Amino acid sequence: SQQGEEDPQALSIQEGENATMNCSYKTSINNLQWYRQNSGRGLVHLILIRSNEREKHSGRLRVTLDTSKKSSSLLITASRAADTASYFCATPRGDNAGNMLTFGGGTRLMVKP
């Protein structure tokens, strides 16, 4: 798979359920970021997890990072219809703060009310 590939590509759940999205990457990273994109809109940064962290929480979001498997997961708990969006993982190339981000293909999440 390419750097920053998410699965599943699409996920449909009922409101109140949890949604789990996975991301795999190929090269070494110093952090991994998750972004959200509502249809036709810009990207909103959700959470950044550093390579020395294993888990991070932000509200209803929980992100894990397994550098040995080169994978990350994003869990949204108690989902709401407003969580319907595409979710992307992104990894920077290199250690420089300005390095390019490589985005995965995204997971399209639909939360049905």
Q: Which residues bind another protein (CB under 8 A)?
A: 31, 33, 35, 40-45, 48, 88, 90, 96-106
CB of 14 to another protein, least distance (A): 26
Dihedral Cα 108, 56, 72, 96, nearest 10 deg: 100
86 by DSSP, 3-state: which? strand
Q: Please, which residues have CB within 8 angstroms of residue 27's CB and are 6 or more apart in sequence?
A: 3, 91, 93
CB of 67 to another protein, least distance (A): 17
CB of 69 to another protein, least distance (A): 22
Q: Which is nearer to another protein, 68 or 96 (CB)?
A: 96
Q: Are 40 and 55 in contact (CB under 8 A)?
A: no
Q: Which is nearer to another protein, 52 or 96 (CB)?
A: 96
